[in-house]
Amino acid sequence: MEFREYAARETSALIDRLVSDAEGRTAAQVAGIQREHESALTSMRLQLEARTRELDARTLAKDQLTAAVEQTRSQLDTRRTEFEAQRVALEAHRAALETLRAEVDVQRRLAAANASAGEQLLEARAALDAAQAESERRTSQFETDLEELRGEHVKTIQEQALARTVLPLDELLTVFSALATASTPSAVLTTVVSGLAREFSRVALFRLRGNRLECVNHVGFEFEGDIAKVVIPTSVDSLLTRAMNSRESQSFVSGSDEPCSAPFGGRPACAIALPLVSGDATVAVVYADDSDQLEFGSVPAPLLVKFAELVWQHAVLVLQHSSAGQKTLAVTPSQTFDRRA
């Protein structure tokens, strides 16, 4: 394209020069010059056509070269992709080879460890056989000792059961003898409190006055100050108020379905409230429990409850005889008893 523009510019300049020269020449000279110029123009046209063909050929060659370059670039990209895939495959192969090498090392170490473990297993088996023989010997000795201990234990339990049954009966006979010598209602109440204190760790006598129960004496409690200030309103639900209202004994034994309603804290295994009735009215209530009492060698809770009820029933009979003809049950002023050993 640049060559054609150049040729056009040269041709135009040549024509301008010819026109300028022709203005001062004759017709014959002009004709000669015109022929020369026509010849020159023809030659130049031929050169232009030759250059044009050459340029077209170069353009074609350039297009072909560009296409070849693009094809080469595409082939190069394809080769680069193939090379990258081969590189990734090579890396994966190298990783697999490293893993295989590590597994071989592990297998080699395991083989060495198995060989060592085989020797240790033989030694351990020998030690196990010796230990098993020793274990069998000790088991036999243990069973022999256990059988002897079981016999001694059964014998001890039988002796303790007999003692735990006989002792309350002995205490009951002692309390009955003391009640037989009580000549006044006050003495009967004193005997009941001290008698129950033989088996219960805490005993208290409450007198009904108005709408409350007042403590008049006790054994085992750590009341501070005047015990007469220890009162239980009759509107409060407890073993004492239930016994007072029902005129029957009310008891609690650990493990029963009823919740413990012991009003003085502690953790008793059993507690009991016994109403004292004069005529048609309850005038006092005796409360007893076994809080903080040692479990070993102690009397079972149901047996304690039965012991208290027997003392109470016998005391009621004695009171009925001693208070015959009286309108009111006499209760002595506040006093504290010492627990008998």
Taking phi over 0 as left and psi of -120 to 50 as alpha, with beta for the rest, 225 belongs to left
Task: List, for residues 152-202, the tens digit of each pLDDT value.
Answer: 544 544 444 444 444 566 778 888 888 888 778 888 888 888 889 888 989
Predicted pLDDT at 1: 57
Helix then strand then coil, % of the chain, to nearest 5: 65, 10, 25
Extended beta strands in the chain, E state = 202-209, 212-219, 231-233, 250-253, 270-278, 281-289
Token readout for 169 is 């009966």
Looking at residue 123, what is its pLDDT?
86
CATH of 182-322, one of 3.40.30.10, 3.30.450.40, 3.30.420.40, 3.40.50.300: 3.30.450.40
332 contacts: CB under 8 Å, gap ≥ 6:
186, 189, 190, 216, 217
Tell how far CA 214 is from the center of its chain: 50
DSSP character for 116?
A: H
| Dist. CA 63–CA 67, nearest whole Å | 6
Average pLDDT, whole number, for the chain?
78
The whole-number pLDDT of residue 23 equals 63
Tokens representing residue 120 in the block: 């240790």
> Measured between alpha carbons, how far is 158 from 167 in angstroms, rounded to an integer?
14
User: Which pLDDT does position 298 carry in this prediction?
Assistant: 62
Dist. CA 32–CA 73, nearest whole Å: 60
The Cα–Cα gap between 84 and 88 comes to 6
Dist CA 329 CA 47 (whole Å): 162
> Residue 243 class from Cβ within 10 Å (0-12 exposed, 13-18 middle, 19+ buried)?
buried
The rounded average pLDDT for each run of 10 residues, N- to C-terminus, in the chain (341 residues) is 69 73 66 79 86 87 88 89 88 88 89 84 84 78 65 49 54 82 82 88 90 88 68 89 91 67 75 84 88 65 87 84 53 44 38
Question: Alpha-carbon distance 315 to 54, whole Å?
Answer: 151
| Strand-strand pairing, 231-233 and 202-209 | unpaired
